[in-house]
Structure 1
């Protein structure tokens, strides 16, 4: 039993409650003693003044190349932030200290490995004793560990501080490749299947008392001048939905925190959505869950309100004994990413307290299910963007003008190098597609990358009454071309206008990254005169650094016409954003560049005034880190979903995007609109207006994922509507 007393002065009385020889461990600094206790001893301890808690000394289980760029550690390394001048303690199964990944940077070692015949546990210390300190005492390639699977600690240490420079076959460096390592062996060998599991014996497990001794060793080293910044414990047991501050390890974790050392602990691998294991549940610890390399939550990872951070933990390749490398998965692999991040941040911010460093990781990380996945480069270097792929560059260019596409046919359209667009590396274009059928013809247009098969969904639906338009992010094929399919038994007249583009590589210029905003109405049913103009000034934006803004525009007039949205002071563009028909609302999405005076022209090319409503939904900027565009071949998300009048449809995107670029197709028997509801209590924004004609109508939206991980669409009409969704782009921080 681990007995915690109010002060160290109370320890002798607690130890005196058991017979001689049954005191297993007394620590030098912490008010904790480990005893072998029978029921009578427990009764005596229960009445002992000064005893705070008595808990069983339970054993716990041990719970790079892709993950390092994912969290931006390659950028911090390039900036000279390598964890130099710091040390991280790894309390685990020991470390293969002579592995070339560590290059002599294991600066201290200790072993705390209790032997207990009642548990069938024996020591793993190289000399066979329950405690050993000094060089070689935590070397997992010597002593009993040499014949057991003690690779876990070496793997963890490699994620923290492995250095792959000049090392053939290495998977890439760890998070802090110049940090030193303090190796502390805290595991024992167990022979019983009662503890190891069926067919799993022998195994290695860690007593709480060993962890306490290890944490006290870390504290002693810190107080004697070792520049420790983090202690990593990739182990745990139990499940807790609330802080477990009665845990005997809480006092040690608190003392380390006061000394400037973060205790970073794996959350556990049982896949619970609202619980973590102990000691990750201690409120002063840093509890870490695991994500995949696609930024989804690893299916094995515990998570929930007690989680502090996410980090990559699936299929992480790192060092193992024998100068080898191997992949492992678990929150055990996620935690050392965070421990290494503390070393990097300590080098950058040498005077900052642990709470501030943790705050930087939480504030700059990528939100996944409400918890930040660490983004170390942003935490260390700031969030000013650097050139990179997926950034948005504004450019208006017509690439197809009044071209007839035959019935049920596909046209290949060159994009790269056309109308001033880049000749190489074009990843996607913001493409306004305008189509009109002949006579009484209805149909649809699909747009997709050259070389791909045609998608199921459509980018725009048209009829013969007017030119139907929709702007989408269209992925460009590797040959710089797109394909346009006319899905109709009659020809269609087509216009294609580019409003901007993204690249598949970095260039010298920083493009725009997207920052979503709560929808803000910046023009409410303003009247734009016939053949006239309205100058829009968008409110709610930063004073500087705004390149372009994303707008949802709704138009309604008593006669037909066209609407153009373009920078104030620039030449009137040939292409229209949308046609509108008499007495029928038209909804469209556009990305507009503010012009002179930060104004945007809305021009009505029609014979009567038109009523215009504009919602601001976000902006592109090179002045701060936002989301980049990853265009994809159009893929179905939902088909023929019926949303009742006033009802909503909710879905949960996979793989952790920040937002999705979606076409929304709506078909109703009465007029209405489908709205995006970005937040639980926030305002909605119209995506597509549908008519009482039984035909499909399409709109596009950049839909941020809500804090609960969902996207919600609402039908504001008075009758049910059939809705289809297609994915055109995923927006992420990387």
Structure 2
């Protein structure tokens, strides 16, 4: 049984190098002085500069590689030099600003930035991204060197080649680096693992997902994110999900994009619908359910899934819509919490996510509500959340990757 995962590619957003406009002002009068770069046709002619009244104190730097001088000029001097045949270029010394890091709206929406401010970054938590692969050359991602692909053909056998871009986008939401460029992930110090279970067209099979889950168990993953799904159940896929959950792994999956505008159908896909998996619905910036977000009793948590900016292959960035974008927000929040509270079992962590979620409305649409990272880390109360989701039996204690049974 195969499925095709569709994502809506929206406006690509890149960094902006901000350069103030250089005014081509009239410079026929003495006017105020400013900094300029002057390039000569041939060697720097100091006599020419002196002839125009430029003193040694006005010269800040003389370059060696090109006959260029950085100096201070009045508007009158600049006008005269700019028209001299021995001057090749005369430009005002414009300022620039460093490339900046964008914080996608979803990160503070789930209290990711609040948690970062308190020193919580998800350090050491292993997150397997079961998807179309992850571009490990992206400068905004730190992808671990050991990954896995369930495919053997040349086009899809490399887990670090993401022909779709979907897996790279998901990975960035979980853990894009805090490096003053690009975007910021929810748990930027978490460890990302590429597990390619969908091909470059975004298609895969339940057998492939099961293989990816098995690899995650065998390689000590803490969290599995599955921004994928199909409409049919599989007893064997359920067994693999249950096996991973019983081994102490937290499984998070997209609820699906088969919702209707009224939000009154039962359309959560698989594997999200299994009791051992957290099904995540999508909301917008106003905490309204996205009209495409699947609904039903299995919905457990909500997270940002509309106009989500994240990484895509080729050191690029784009905004996507979908519950595929909501799921990694929850995986990232879980990583933040587990790094700070490694003694929690996956079941206890799941209960904590529920207990601290913000109630947004009907449980079939929102589950327990919007996940909140810092509230969960600082939570000292007891009791359940705000409705929705499934009941679970306790299993194991502590993160599977931290040496606890």
Q: TM-score, normalised by structure 1?
A: 0.37
Inter-partner Cα distance in structure 2 for 1:236 and 1:60: 9
Q: Residue 364 of structure 1 contacts residue 383 of structure 1 at CA under 8 Å; is this kept in 2?
A: no
Q: Which has the higher strand share?
A: 1
Question: Hey, what does 1:111 align to over in structure 2?
Answer: 149
In the aligned structure 2, how far is the partner of 1:373 from the partner of 1:286?
13
Report if the CA contact (8 A) 1:160-1:339 is conserved.
Answer: yes
- Kept in 2: contact 1:247–1:282 (CA 8 A): no
Answer yes or no: is the 8 Å Cα contact 1:264–1:285 preserved in 2.
yes
- Determine the C-alpha separation between the residues in 1 that align with 2:380 and 2:107: 18
After TM superposition, give the deviation of residue 163 of structure 1 in Å.
1.1
User: Following the alignment from structure 2 to structure 1, what is the Cα–Cα distance between the partners of residues 300 and 146?
Assistant: 29
| 2:5 match: secondary structure | strand
**1:161 aligned to 2:175?**
yes
Could you report, residue by residue, the CA deviation over 1:300-331 in whole angstroms, capped at 9, with x for unpaired residues?
Answer: 10022111111111000000011011100100
Give the number of the structure whose residues are more often helix, by fraction. 2
Task: Write the distance in 1 (CA, Å) between the matches of 2:325 and 2:350.
Answer: 18
Which residue number corresponds to residue 90 of structure 1? 129
Are 1:107 and 1:181, in contact at CA under 8 Å, matched by a contact in 2?
no
Q: Report the alpha carbon displacement of residue 62 of structure 1 after superposing the two structures with TM.
A: 5.3
Match runs of 1:520-539 below 5 Å: none
Contact 2:258–2:267 (CA under 8 A) maintained in structure 1: no
Q: Who is 2:399 aligned against?
A: none
Q: Does 1:303 align with 2:295?
A: yes
Tell me the CA shift for residue 166 of structure 1. Answer: 2.1
Report the CA distance shift for 1:261/1:707 in structure 2 as closer, same or farther (over 3 A). closer
The equivalent position to 1:269 in structure 2, one of 237, 257, 273, is 257
3-state SS in 2 of match to 1:327: strand
Q: Residues 353 and 266 (structure 1 numbering): CA distance in 2 closer, same or farther, change over 3 Å?
A: same
Give the 5 Å matches for 1:390-429. none
Which residue of structure 2 lines up, in the alignment, with residue 350 of structure 1?
Answer: 342
What does 1:6-45 correspond to in 2, within 5 Å?
A: none
Which of 229, 234, 257 does residue 222 from structure 2 map onto?
A: 229
- Aligned mate of 2:3, from 36, 42, 59: 59
Cα distance in 2 for residues equivalent to 1:248 and 1:302: 23
Alignment counterpart, residue 120 of structure 2, candidates 81, 95, 117: 81
Call closer, same or farther: CA 1:336–1:159 in 2, change over 3 Å. same
Give the Å deviation of 1:185.
Answer: 0.9
Give the deviation of 1:58 after TM superposition.
Answer: 2.3
SS at match of 2:202: strand
For 1:323 and 1:165, the matched residues in 2 are separated by: 14
Give secondary structure in 2 for the equivalent of 1:210: helix
Report the CA distance between 1:262 and its aligned residue: 1.1
- Equivalent of 2:375, from 374, 378, 382? 378
Contact kept in structure 2, 1:82 and 1:179, CA below 8 Å: yes
How far apart are residue 255 of structure 1 and its match?
A: 1.7
Tell me, in whole angstroms, the C-alpha distance in 2 between the residues paired with 1:233 and 1:707.
Answer: 23
Work out the CA distance in 2 between the residues paired with 1:110 and 1:267: 24
1:211 is matched with 209
- Counterpart in the other structure of 1:723: none
1:108–1:181 Cα contact (<8 Å) kept: no
Q: Distance in 1 between matches of 2:248 and 2:154?
A: 31
Report the aligned-residue RMSD.
2.2
Matched, 1:183 2:214: no
| Structure 1: gaps (5+ residues) | 1-56, 115-121, 127-136, 190-202, 223-227, 385-705, 709-734
SS at match of 1:356: helix
- What is the CA-CA distance between 1:125 and the residue it aligns to? 2.5
Q: 2: CA distance between counterparts of 1:113 and 1:364?
A: 39
Instruction: Return the offset for 1:337.
Output: 0.6
Q: Residue 362 of structure 1 corresponds to which residue in structure 2?
A: 354
Cα deviation digits, residues 226-274 of structure 1 (max 9, x gap): xx221111111217xxxx5x53211111121122211111011011433
Deviations 1:141-192 (A, max 9, x none): 6xxx3xxxx100000000011113222xx23x11110011110111235xxx
Q: 258, 277, 280: which one pairs with 2:246?
A: 258
Mapped partners of 1:108, 1:82: distance in 2 = 22
- On the 8 A contact 2:110/2:333 being kept in 1, the answer is no
Q: CA deviation at 1:113?
A: 2.2
Per-residue CA deviations over 1:444-494 (Å, capped at 9, x if unaligned) read xxxxxxxxxxxxxxxxxxxxxxxxxxxxxxxxxxxxxxxxxxxxxxxxxxx
Residue of structure 1 equivalent to 2:400 = none
| 1:44-83 deviation per Cα after TM superposition (whole angstroms, max 9, x unaligned) | xxxxxxxxxxxxx323425651111111111111111111
Structure with the bigger RCO (C-alpha within 8 Å, sep 6+) is 2
Instruction: Tell me the distance in 1 between the aligned counterparts of 2:155 and 2:256.
Output: 23
Partner SS for 1:248:
helix
Q: Do the aligned residues in 2 keep the contact of 1:62 with 1:152 (CA within 8 Å)? A: no
Show the 5 A alignment for 1:427-438: none
Structure 2 distance, partners of 1:124, 1:262, is: 30
> 2: CA distance between counterparts of 1:264 and 1:354?
11
Length-normalised TM-score, structure 2? 0.65
SS at match of 2:123: coil
**What secondary structure is seen at the aligned counterpart in 1 of 2:299?**
coil
Q: Does 1:324 align with 2:321?
A: no
Mapped to 2, the partners of 1:707 and 1:261 lie a distance apart of 23
Runs of 4+ in 1 over 6 A off after TM superposition: none
